[in-house]
Structure 1
Amino acid sequence: MFDGISKTIDEFGNGILTALNDIQGVFGKELNVATPIKDSILDLVGNTPLIRLNKIGSHIQGIQFYLKAEFQNPTGSLRDRSSLGMIRDAERRGKLKTGSKILITGTGSSSVSISWAGRTLGYKVISVLPKTISASDTYKLKHYGAELEYTEIDPLQYIKQKLSDTSFWYPDETRNMANPNQHFTTTGPEIYRDLNGRVDYLITGGGTGASVTGVGRYLRSMKESRSTKILLSGFENSLFHEHFVQKKKVHLPEIFDPSVVDEFISINKEVAVHYQSDLMEKEGLPVGITTGMIVAAAIAFAETIQHDGFSSDLNREIKNFVILSPDRE
């Protein structure tokens, strides 16, 4: 008897979910309750929430800050989006197929994300590293599925030699347009959707320039968000600081579109660490130092608006300020 009742309840619940999915189709906005079961871990990439900051920045009138929680991606990084996007693009182009091997180098978040996404999709991922690297620096790569290969020459030169064999593929994230395109087709539309197009300010970190390029281009392409002010932040020793602040001639990532950026804000490491700590203490957000840096830049910029008298006009609408949070550690 109880099995029959349980079956009826399940059928009723499925009927509700079907109706919610129909509503989703009508309104074009995802309902989180409509897909409680994921087909694979890859379905957890993207569709990250906007989290309202309630304490940090509350002294600034007229602006509501939202954190785009990219640290909720499977490896805790924004790079999960671009890694999956570049791999899927390579599959569509026939660059990756059954038996292909993915080459990466470095031990940062990009390498970790590609290791994870590649192995999850069934590819062998090989990280090419200098023989001098310490074992402690490679632990996370191995944990997420990469095989390590050591070389005495420059790892990029080694990879270039390997690419003469078409069974190998290298993401080349600073030149691969699938990187910013993934943000144009996913991150940007998510932010636009969740704020109904009312995105007044957007700030991201530098990295490869993919996120600011992709999201910025998307928001500028939409009528409701065409006037969004696009901001970029970086540490004082970053390539972007040299370009925007010091006006040096530097080699920027090929995928980066500097014309999207309205203003660049530099932050030193000490201030970034302070905000990283504040985000945990005041908002309960376990984020990395890069997020601390971006939030610090957002607050610094918003304070200049307030000093200009912008937020003193209480008749103005509250402005939405989106902060792209790329990291969990």
Structure 2
Amino acid sequence: MGIVNLDSLAYGIDTDFRRSLLQGIALFRGIDAESMNDLLPQCGRIDAKAGQVLLSPERENHCVYVVLSGRLTVHLGSLDAPKIADLGPGNCAGEMSLIEDKDPSAFVVASEDSHLMVISHTLLWRMVDRSHTFCKNLLVVLSERVRSDNEYIASSLGVLRQAERNAHTDALTGLGNRHWMRTMFEREVTRTLHANRSLCLMMIDVDSFKAFNDRYGHIAGDRVLVAVAETLREFLRPTDLVARFGGDEFAVLLPDLKLNQARQIAERLRQQIAKLSPPSLSTIITVSIGIADRSENDDVATLVQRADAAMYGAKEAGRNRVAVAPSNE
């Protein structure tokens, strides 16, 4: 990779054409070409082959690279990471590490054969001293770089938050999933225990769901699960915690409710879900619900086990009904 002088930008060509060349470079925009006549020949010029690494966090940088033709890409973490920026003609790279006097924070690679101007560390500061316009342009470049980094960070945070939501949310119904349920239910059980407040848990299962799927298909079955989930969201209080336990089963934690109150809510909920069946279906959508109230020794797993046993008792008793777990005192 040889370096040659940029004489053509300072001598031997028409002044207007020289000025037009400089105007296409962000660092030199608005600068009087004549004021840089003695400094421009001290810049270098290199031909970078596609795939050539120009900047790396693993080595010191002493230059600013200005793209005259071709294209560079920027990668965080590793060369195999997706690019976070493209640098075309007129853009530069390396100025941040020179200003900070630190190793580069990213990899910069030629994505195609590229022709680059090279400004050394010493020459960069001489240009800053020579021209207020150059100094301003450098600040603009740095500002745009910081803004771009902030946008990338904001975008990355958005992706992380979405990934976190996906990790805790059931994709079909939008309710909390088992992972979310384990965390949130345990937190609420602990809170009510310390506050000596009542708490009940409902396990809800769609009756004869496998037969429904076999008869009407899985798409119709998914619609039933979504409709049940929406009913739970609309019918229950904002303080109640609702999760899809798995398959056609849902779990609902009811803080600050006594067993008789929870049973009344479960009965009204059962009746509400029975109204979901459209006239076109000969099969009525019903649910069986089991309820358990927390005793002093109950944790989430024990509550779920007791409510689940009550729910299966409701199914064995004929489905479409509410059953209460025996006291665990």
Give the TM-score normalised by structure 2: 0.19
Which one has more relative contact order, counting CA pairs under 8 Å at least 6 apart? 1
Greater share of strand: 2
Task: Report which of the two structures shows the higher radius of gyration computed on alpha carbons.
Answer: 2
